[in-house]
Amino acid sequence: MASEAPARWNARNPAVRRIMQEIRELQQEQSTEFIAEAMEDDIFEFAFAVRGPPDTEFEGGIYHGRILLPAEYPFKPPSFLMLTPSGRFQTAVKICLSISSHHPEHWQPSWSVRTALTALIAFMPSPGAGALGSLDYSPEERRQLAAKSRAAAPKVASAARQRVIDDLHARMLASEPAARAAAPAEAPAAALARLRREVEAAHGGGSGGGGEAAAPAAAQAQAAAEEVDAPAQRASDSGPAAREAEEQAAAAAAAGDATAAKQKAAPPAGEQPQQQPLQPQQQQQEEEQEQRQAEQQRQPPAEPRSDLPPAGEPSDQSALRRRAPPAPSSPSAAARPWPPRAPAGSPAAEGGGPELRLRAAQAQAAAASGDRGLTLLAVVLSIAIAALLLRKIAAALGGGSRVDAALLHSP
């Protein structure tokens, strides 16, 4: 059995840490009712052997099986597969129990492999009631299978697992005298009743969210308690006084646990239930939200956009303000800003009404027209100067007469 996590397992993983802790506890606190060991090559798989509960048709039997832990353990329940025929559970099938992967709504992270094996022993005398992986053999057939289970360990395909199973079987046979001499730490009926109380306490007594799934488990627990209590009562009548005192003490302890659980769950009359403290993550989210709201309140209001038309301005004037500037027709026109600005001190510059702004726009358009006229005049003068230059050049070359005639008859 591996007492330290192999190198290929991440020791920081919560599931690995929990499994290694349970392995150490199983080594330090050994039980006479069961033995469980993790596989050397996979610590998420346990091989176990349980002893049949006393005063039942399973008494004296040694039943082997496997426990498969999920990667999210202990937040998700394990799966159970039996290897030894018992007449109660099928072999090589994931059996359905309220502590198995078939009912994750009942599983509690505080439960462990030790808790699961104790519950498995307690569930053996209970009726199958058609659950997945359950059988309802007669008591005589179960006694025959219990005697047969002691002869040899079940056979598996893996040689490494076969060695572990054979070792568990030999250790269970060797510890049988000690198991008979030692009184059981908890009777099967008391263990099953305790498990039922834990499930009901976690899920509101079978009502609400998991009511439909919890009802069969409660019925199985009640039937198992009645079935196991009958032979236990007969044995106590003919047995020593210590056996009777032990049964009474177990019943009193069970009743005391139930009373304490009810008192703890129900608040005193007239007292308001205490508000649960906020989780650290939820409290941090609320603080961040309050901080964002305070920052938004401290920010100044957004300034109005300057490119939008003032209130009450006609739509044609707003289009005039947003239109693109025309191409400059002269250097002086290119230097002017767009849109045209009114001279300082004018009514338009002082923010007059729409009529003043319209007049200012018209004045700017007239100025632009004057600039275009000056440009045209400059072009005409340039052409005239070029013609005079050509005439002088032609006269200097001796063809002035022909040039003059061509110029006079030209349109």
Alpha helices of 154-240 — where are they, by DSSP H? Answer: 159-174, 176-181, 188-202, 211-238
35 in any annotated domain = yes
For residues 111 and 165, what is the distance between their CA atoms, to the nearest angstrom?
Answer: 24
pLDDT at 212: 37
393 in any annotated domain = yes
**Which residues share a beta bridge with 49?**
35, 64
For residues 51 and 63, what is the distance between their CA atoms, to the nearest angstrom?
Answer: 6
Query: Which residues fall within 8 angstroms of residue 99, CB to CB, at 6 or more apart?
Result: 77, 106, 107, 111, 115, 116, 119, 120, 195
- The DSSP element (H or E) to which 294 belongs, if any, is helix 280-298
Q: Which of 39, 34, 37, 7 is nearest to 22 (CA)?
A: 37
Phi, psi at 380, each rounded to 5° = -65, -45
Is the preceding peptide bond at 78 cis, omega within 30 degrees of 0? no
Residue 32 has pLDDT above 70, yes or no: yes
b/e burial code for range 94-111 (CB count within 10 A of at least 16 → b): bbbbbbbbbbeebbbeeb
For residues 248 and 255, what is the distance between their CA atoms, to the nearest angstrom?
Answer: 11
Domain boundary among 186, 213, 242: 186
Q: Which range of residues forms the domain containing residue 397?
A: 351-411
334 catalytic? Reply is no
Domain boundary among 126, 156, 186: 186
Residue 24 has pLDDT above 90, yes or no: yes
pLDDT at 222: 47
pLDDT digits (tens, 9 = 90+) for 159-214: 999 999 999 999 999 998 887 776 555 555 666 666 566 655 554 443 333 333 44
Number of structural domains (the chain) is 2
197 in any annotated domain = no
Cα dist from 97 to 77, 207, 212, 291, whole Å: 10, 18, 14, 49
Q: What is the CATH number of the domain that holds 48?
A: 3.10.110.10
217 in any annotated domain = no
pLDDT digits (tens, 9 = 90+) for 207-259: 333 333 444 444 444 444 444 444 444 444 444 444 555 556 555 555 554 45
The pair of structure tokens assigned to 124 is: 């053996």
What is the pLDDT of the chain when averaged over all its residues? 73
For residues 27 and 16, what is the distance between their CA atoms, to the nearest angstrom?
Answer: 17
366 in any annotated domain = yes
333 in any annotated domain = no
Spot the catalytic one: 16, 47, 69, 96. 96
246 in any annotated domain = no
Q: Of 13-17, 102-106, 181-185, 254-258, which gets the smallest average pLDDT?
A: 254-258
Exposed / middle / buried, residue 57 (Cβ in 10 Å: 0-12, 13-18, 19+): buried
For residues 46 and 40, what is the distance between their CA atoms, to the nearest angstrom?
Answer: 10
Domain boundary among 158, 186, 214: 186
68 in any annotated domain = yes
In which residue are the tokens 């834990």 written?
198
